[in-house]
Chains A and B, each alone.
Chain A
Amino acid sequence: MALNPSYEAIGKGFVQQYYAMFDDPAQRPNLINMYNTESSFMTFEGQQIQGAIKIMEKLNSLTFQKINRIITAIDSQPMFDGGVLINVLGRLQADDDPPHAFSQTFVLKPLANSFFCGHDIFRLGIHNTM
């Protein structure tokens, strides 16, 4: 496989689609289609999770309904297996809570003419000291 020259557009497109689904409680269950049943990994606030079903259990356990999100930056790189590495920096607001900064990293793996999300790492930008 070769480097995909459209990595930037793929990164931006994926991030838009992913958050449109994530942030709408009615569409959130469809996120399961983004992940592989066995080989997808998620690290959510340090918690290691593997496989689409476990990943969805985690996402469904989150107690908010609506999320408002502001994306500050999407940085992408092509990978030698044809995949795309994506890093997102942004802020989110769950329901009526105050906004929090977050960063999220995805690795898209090529699958036929499309991609699936092979790796997903999420952290809020919250620190232990002032």
Chain B
Amino acid sequence: MRSLQIPKSPKVISGVVILGVFIVLTVIGPWIAPYSPNTNRFSTSQMPSWHHLLGTTLLGQDVFSQLLVGCRETMVVGFVAGFIATVLSIVVGLAAGYIGGKTDEGLSLLSNVFLAIPGLPLMIVINSYLPPGKQANPLVIGVVISLTGWAWGARVLRAQTMSLRDRDFVEAARIIGESRRRIMFGEIGPNLLPVLASSLLFTILYAVGLFTTLAFLGLTPLSTWNWGTMLYWSNTQNAAIAGQWWWVGPPGIAIALVGTSLALINFGIDEFINPRLRAGGLSARQRRKVGMSRRPHLGFTPVRRVSATKPTGSN
């Protein structure tokens, strides 16, 4: 069984740190926010200052407080949707890949259908029919997002399961007579971990993206705060054209940073799954440290004589 030993590259570490900061903010954000995100008693459209670290909106609200408060809803919906979708993709992917035959054909077709239908328009349609009461709960939206986002993970997991199915140790378990479920979750499951982790990261990324997009369109309840709603308000009030970068910028950058952190962590998983991405990969900085002036070119093995004891004729 392979345990998940992610290479500790600078990319992975910075990804973990950035994501960690946002997870902490998810927990404490609403508590440490200096003001209520709704209160509009400040002077309007102020540039950032010590009183308002990220300035104020056209309505006189504190942008920094909105950002801190909005972190929780954005992250929770993204993670919940990501987790549900991943569970769905595990069930579908493992079943399709392991059982095979008609089950596989049916489930693969289902994944292909969900993969082909674009998520945002589907969400908009579903959302437009959600009765107003349900609409008020962002978590419901998260659940619906997860229903549109599991197919990719299922496809990747299916492929990986199929390649694992015929390996020796699975064959052995089958001969010993272990139950199908035991083999699927006990033997194959752990070996899927890296692929699973990667798929989870991408699904969270997808969910955060889709949720904030819906919010930006004003399709999530406007009574609560997330980064998408912040962008919705700044957009409806033409903050960009008015040049109010402190209002437009922070929520967008926050969304991008969460996405970046997930993708950076995924680089580590990629290198774990695909050793070629790792082997021979020496960053420019590492190379300078060992005194190599140029990167190794494929098919032109560098010559570096380390033992200075022997005089060399030609160089």
Chain B associates with chain A: no
Residue numbers of B with Cβ under 8 A of A are none
Residue numbers of A with Cβ under 8 A of B are none
